[in-house]
Chains A and B, each alone.
Chain A
Amino acid sequence: MEKISVLSNLAMPVMILIIVIYGIIQRNKVFDTFLDGAKEGISVVVNLFPTLVGLFLAVGTLRASGVLDFVIQIISPVLDYIKIPSEIMPLALLRPISGSSSIAVAVDIMKQFGVDSGLGIIASVIMGSTETTLYTIAVYTSAVGIKKTRFVLVASLIADIVGMLASVAICRFLSMSFS
């Protein structure tokens, strides 16, 4: 557990260090380059903002009206059986379909239960370890105009499910999880 926390804490600083040093070796004007990229970061967030407003509204109303709790109540007996916290399920269902709405749901979970709570951590790990599968498949197949995608969807969804089960299992194992 401690080693994992050390390694997690090292990852970002080490990555920054390696890339900056590599830039210097390549005689890149690293700070100017950094500024160029950072400006792009602003536009990423600005472009994301309208989407977030719309989806936070949708997820917020689902939560406030009681729909979310109702859905969780229905599915929890099944999920308890395979030891997945039912609060995570809305996230797991939306994650492969829509990137921005899964951000909204993940933020909702982190706010509701605490960002460093077991559920908050599980939601974070799921967000970090999975992709918007359906979107990716659509982009890649439509780029070459292919409709017969064979086993791609099945294989990707199998990987997603494994990723989510693994996220839950790891967080439980590392006792970062909620009991």
Chain B
Amino acid sequence: MLNILWPIFIIISFIYAIFFGNIENLNKSIFSSVEEAVNLSISLLGTMCLWSGIMQIARETTFVNKLSNLLAPVMKFLFPDVKKGSTIYQEISMNIIANLLGLGNAATPLGLKAMKSMQEENVDKDVLTNSMATLIVLNTASIQIIPSTVIAIRSSLGSTNPSIIIVPVWIATICAGVVGMLAVKFFIKIGK
């Protein structure tokens, strides 16, 4: 995708700048953008290291496993076709918890494992099952307790309170997630 977008951005900017006489600005921005990338990356290091370290503890213990037991009521509503206690059930609920904790590196492999297990049971191998579709939409809604990357960015840009956005993020994510899941249920119901 970026192989298309990136050159388009640069070419359009260049042409526009020539037409409207902004070449000096454009030239300056080349150096300031590169410098910005350096500054942001350096200040991102602190928060990202801290959070990856803490989350490593969650990953090495049974934390994710334990929490996934709490999901039973939600699982029953979202994945009525998946039997409780089955491997697929485990993989899906651990995928959800890993997403909640912001363990992107752990969540994706778990989710893909669940997809592969479901594909084995899939009758029509070319079409997603209801549960598979639900799992994907759930993964496109970023359900995260601590949006660590944004907080890191905010703190690197000198925010007076980088984490003030946490509760607003919760509310927005829940709205998006609920609507996403209702949309899935609706489409399944009308037989799409």
Contact = CB atoms under 8 A, between A and B. Distances in A.
A and B together in one complex: yes
A127 B169 CA distance: 9
Interface in A43-71: 44-45, 48-49, 52-67, 70
Contacts of A75: none
A126 B171 CA distance: 11
Interface residues of A, number: 101
A45 B44 contact: yes
Contacts, number: 339
A-B interface, 9 closest residue pairs, ranked by CB to CB distance from nearest: A37-B56, A159-B180, A163-B176, A60-B33, A128-B147, A41-B52, A64-B29, A38-B53, A41-B49
Interface of A: 4-5, 7-9, 11-12, 15-16, 19-20, 22-23, 26, 28, 30, 33-42, 44-45, 48-49, 52-67, 70, 97-98, 100-101, 103, 106-107, 110-111, 115-116, 120-121, 124-131, 133-137, 139-141, 143-152, 154-156, 158-160, 162-164, 166-167, 170-171, 174, 176
Chain B binding surface SS class: helix
B137 interface: yes
A167 B172 contact: yes
B29 A61 contact: yes
Contacts of A58: 5-6, 9-10, 13
A36 B34 CA distance: 30
A131 B142 contact: yes
Contacts of A121: 164-165, 168
B145 A115 contact: no
B62 to A, nearest CB: 7
Given A130-B176, A155-B184, A163-B172, A124 B150 contact: yes
A19 to B, nearest CB: 5
B139 A131 contact: yes
24 contacts: A9-B163, A19-B55, A22-B61, A23-B57, A34-B54, A37-B54, A37-B57, A41-B53, A52-B40, A66-B22, A101-B5, A107-B157, A130-B141, A143-B115, A143-B116, A148-B127, A154-B187, A155-B137, A155-B180, A156-B140, A159-B183, A162-B180, A163-B141, A170-B171
